[in-house]
Structure 1
């Protein structure tokens, strides 16, 4: 009887040594392994300043040039684009989470995204698309406008003090009878092709900043241009 018990004890000892007896080894094959920790989520929301001004010079693929200024105050946006000779567009509206998608009175379009110190987007004016990357500006740089005797001059001023501006002097007669200041009932096609071309536009007089105060003239009349903000609105 002792001869049979001794081999059995030896066999069980071997099983312990190999870790094959369930519940007796810390290296059980059924132990769960931990998964790598997921990377932390990063926020992709745009940063929209409470108040900011942006500007850029733009060149279309065909070589046409335009300059744009954008002002943001809270959710409100005002923007002005002009070529310094015979075309301009004012845009008034709102931004939502940094996204801008607005039309001018004469159905030009502005689409842009604001993120911190940069605004990127495109302007469509008179059938020409201008892409831009506009950097934030401060000091005297921004959009200005002034009026005298029913004539309005507007400028986009760069950080170095140079400016691009256009003067608007009303409308010429056209073949169709439109009220150019009440265009809501007309189609984009009619406005772009029958009203927009009737605007009397020309280069604005230079804008200067003696003692950091804006000065210019409209048809020889001295004016003091005003800096435009995101809340600016006019007809």
Structure 2
């Protein structure tokens, strides 16, 4: 039997190799066409995950002013929040509003608060009358928070700080204000959905 010459062998190898190359190229093109449009788009550079408030949370901070410092307490229950700012002498402001998707907007008598969760703390601005203050309020654990008691002498309100300090104001039935007495044993904790003030 006669063997094929070397030229014939090389030609056969060239034809086979060319066929494989064409097949691989076409397969790759088909694969690219089939997967076009199915790739996941990269996340936009500024995208961030929304952080929700805990179901129940309290935040307390002190704000420096030109006169007496103002103590601020914020309490959240579900998607509602209550804020109370006082100087422990005569200034006090109650606010209420929504706390959703990591953002809080509260309004009261001649006062407003806007805050956003940054980490686990609440950062924002408090407006009392014509003045606006920046604040950063960390979360606190009980017994810290906001307390209230209705008495014959009026309404007593207290903010208990994380160090156990107490700041409060009494509002008499005639609307006048004065420093609150010591935290009363019957004082109740204020929740974010309260409206008893």
Range into which the TM-score falls when normalised by the shorter chain: 0.7 to 0.9
CA contact (8 A) 2:53 2:99 kept: no
1:126 Cα shift? 2.4
In 1, Cα distance between equivalents of 2:132 and 2:85: 12
Match of 2:177 among 201, 215, 219: 201
CA contact (8 A) 1:78 1:91 kept: yes
* Residue 118 of structure 1: aligned partner: 121
In 1, Cα distance between equivalents of 2:63 and 2:94: 16
In 2, Cα distance between equivalents of 1:96 and 1:24: 61
In 2, Cα distance between equivalents of 1:107 and 1:234: 19
1:203 Cα shift? 1.8
Runs of 4+ in 1 over 3 A off after TM superposition: 8-17, 26-43, 114-117
Q: Figure out how many residues of one structure are paired with residues of the other and give that number.
A: 184
- Structure 1 residues without counterparts, runs of 5 or longer: 1-5, 172-198, 208-213, 216-223
Alignment of 1:52-67 (within 5 A): 52-60=57-65, 62=66, 65-67=69-71
Give the secondary structure class of the aligned counterpart of 1:24. helix
1:148 Cα shift? 2.3
Matched, 1:226 2:188: yes
Matched, 1:50 2:46: no
| TM-score, structure 1 normalization | 0.63
Cα deviation digits, residues 32-85 of structure 1 (max 9, x gap) = 57999766798612122111111111225x576211111111122112111112
1:87 Cα shift? 0.8
> Superposition RMSD on alpha carbons, in Å?
3.5
* Residue 86 of structure 2: aligned partner: 82
- Structure 2 residues without counterparts, runs of 5 or longer: none
Match of 2:20 among 1, 24, 46: 24
| TM-score, structure 2 normalization | 0.74
